[in-house]
């Protein structure tokens, strides 16, 4: 909702900013897949390829995290995580790219926080992650 404000505040605080938008990642991956037509005809078969998508997604994010202009003071922001709902787990993505995080990773996460447990859109049991939440509501 206020990503540009986060970017401005981050840069004013003397940190670099890198935004990785995952909103279209699944559509682009599927559109380029050699078996896209059969998957369109039988979407249930797509579940067989979702591990490949998760690997592709981790590579996409890792590439952004390892960019030349990203250093230990850079904030790398992930947006579009809701578009992964049903096709990839954010928890798996974070685990897969953890070793590539050099500065701070900011995940714009449409979900719930219960203690240290994060739940994407209220689905399934969430996962624990060492993080500092910035919530949309005050307090």
Q: Could you give the CA distance from residue 118 to residue 134 in angstroms, rounded to a whole number?
A: 12
pLDDT at 103 over 90: no
Strands (E), the chain: 17-21, 75-79, 104-107, 111-114, 117-120, 127-128
Q: In a 3-state reduction of DSSP, which class is residue 113?
A: strand
So what's the pLDDT on residue 130? 57
Q: Could you give the CA distance from residue 36 to residue 129 in angstroms, rounded to a whole number?
A: 34
pLDDT at 139 over 60: no
Assess if residue 120 is contained within a domain: no
Assess if residue 115 is contained within a domain: no
Assess if residue 114 is contained within a domain: no
Range in 13-27, 46-60, 104-118 the model is least confident about: 104-118
Residues sharing a CB contact under 8 Å with residue 18, sequence separation 6 or more, in sequence order: 64, 65, 67, 69, 70, 74, 75, 76, 77
Closest CA to 60 of 17, 28, 106, 104: 28
Q: What percent of the chain has pLDDT over 90?
A: 53
Q: How many domains does the chain have?
A: 1
Assess if residue 8 is contained within a domain: yes
Assess if residue 30 is contained within a domain: yes
Assess if residue 59 is contained within a domain: yes
The mean pLDDT value of the chain amounts to 86
Assess if residue 131 is contained within a domain: no
Q: In a 3-state reduction of DSSP, which class is residue 53?
A: helix
Assess if residue 42 is contained within a domain: yes
Instruction: Work out the average pLDDT over 69-90.
Output: 91
Q: Could you give the CA distance from residue 83 to residue 117 in angstroms, rounded to a whole number?
A: 20
Residue range of the domain that includes 39: 3-109
């Amino acid at each position: 909702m206020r990503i540009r404000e986060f970017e401005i505040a981050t840069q004013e605080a003397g940190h670099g900013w890198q935004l990785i938008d995952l909103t279209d990642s699944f559509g682009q991956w599927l559109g380029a897949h050699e078996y896209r037509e059969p998957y369109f005809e039988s979407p249930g078969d797509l579940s067989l390829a979702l591990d490949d998508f998760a690997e592709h997604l981790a590579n996409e994010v890792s590439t952004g995290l390892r960019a030349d202009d990203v250093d230990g003071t850079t904030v790398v922001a992930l947006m579009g995580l809701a578009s992964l709902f049903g096709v990839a787990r954010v928890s798996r993505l974070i685990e897969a790219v953890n070793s590539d995080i050099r500065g701070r990773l900011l995940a714009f996460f449409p979900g719930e926080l219960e203690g240290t447990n994060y739940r994407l859109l209220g689905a399934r049991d969430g996962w624990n992650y060492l993080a500092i939440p910035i919530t949309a509501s005050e307090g």
